[in-house]
Chain A
Amino acid sequence: AQTVTQSQPEMSVQEAETVTLSCTYDTSESDYYLFWYKQPPSRQMILVIRQEAYKQQNATENRFSVNFQKAAKSFSLKISDSQLGDAAMYFCAYRSASDYKLSFGAGTTVTVRA
């Protein structure tokens, strides 16, 4: 099974500032997908951003962007202009293109200070 590692259990950021969450993964596959999901206190899992491994361009969604380093097997998430509503647990996830299953990291709790 693939391993997804999030080395930061908690991160704190001042409102309007930027925070970067780390994620590394282990795979022997060349074609796969990577995701960041947000889980607020409501527990709903919300897709934040998705990256296809065959695309060199980093994905962006409004204030959220990723730094995808395929050779280093690294997939970090940058949250710019942080807002109070960004406070949540963030999960990095991996899926092989030949499989249906998502493998999740342990998560990073983001706190936003007003």
Chain B
Amino acid sequence: NAGVTQTPKFRILKIGQSMTLQCAQDMNHNYMYWYRQDPGMGLKLIYYSVGAGITDKGEVPNGYNVSRSTTEDFPLRLELAAPSQTSVYFCASSYGPPDTQYFGPGTRLTVL
């Protein structure tokens, strides 16, 4: 199993541009999550999904959108990128609520 994969690994955006961060998992996990990690800080939850077609906001959803059309994929969309969105983004998945979350390798995004 590849586990949780994320693409791209690095990206530089200009202010106002848009992009989609890809996340996929091959563990047949129902639950998927997007976090951001700012320098020297812990992770904060952006959005999460409890199954295909079901998503909900986390702590810091403003400026982002998600969709979950399949169990495997959970893309994160950034519209009108701002410097405040410069961060490292992590995708994670788990089988169910009591289960451990497994993380992808992260995407480092810089908005200039």
B111 interface hit (Cβ, 8 Å): no
A104 interface hit (Cβ, 8 Å): yes
Most buried by B among A42, A44, A91, A101: A101
Give the number of residues in B that approach A within 8 Å (Cβ atoms). 25
B53 interface hit (Cβ, 8 Å): no
A64 interface hit (Cβ, 8 Å): no
Task: Determine the main DSSP class of B at the interface with A.
Answer: strand
Residues 23 to 41 of chain B near chain A (Cβ within 8 Å): 31, 33, 40-41
Q: Is the CB of B42 within 8 A of A43?
A: no
Q: Is the CB of A44 within 8 A of B100?
A: no
Give the number of residues in A that approach B within 8 Å (Cβ atoms). 24
1/0 per position for A25-58, CB-CB distance to B under 8 A? 0000000010101000011111100100000000
Q: Is the CB of B105 within 8 A of A101?
A: no
Contact A104/B48 with A44-B106, A97-B98 known, Cβ cut-off 8 Å? no
Choose from B43, B59, B97, B100 the contact partner of A91 (Cβ within 8 Å).
B43
B74 interface hit (Cβ, 8 Å): no
Choose from B33, B40, B98, B103 the contact partner of A107 (Cβ within 8 Å).
B40
In the complex formed, the residue of B with least CB distance to A100 is B97
By a beta-carbon cutoff of 8 Å, the part of chain A in contact with chain B is 1, 4, 33, 35, 37, 42-47, 50, 91, 93, 97-102, 104-107
**Could you jot down 28 A-B contacts, CB within 8 Å?**
A4-B42, A35-B100, A42-B105, A43-B105, A43-B108, A44-B103, A44-B106, A45-B92, A45-B103, A45-B106, A47-B100, A47-B102, A97-B98, A99-B97, A100-B31, A100-B48, A100-B97, A101-B45, A101-B48, A101-B59, A102-B33, A102-B45, A102-B101, A105-B42, A106-B41, A107-B40, A107-B41, A107-B42
The 8 closest A-B pairs by CB, nearest first: A104-B42, A45-B103, A43-B106, A104-B43, A101-B45, A106-B42, A100-B97, A44-B105
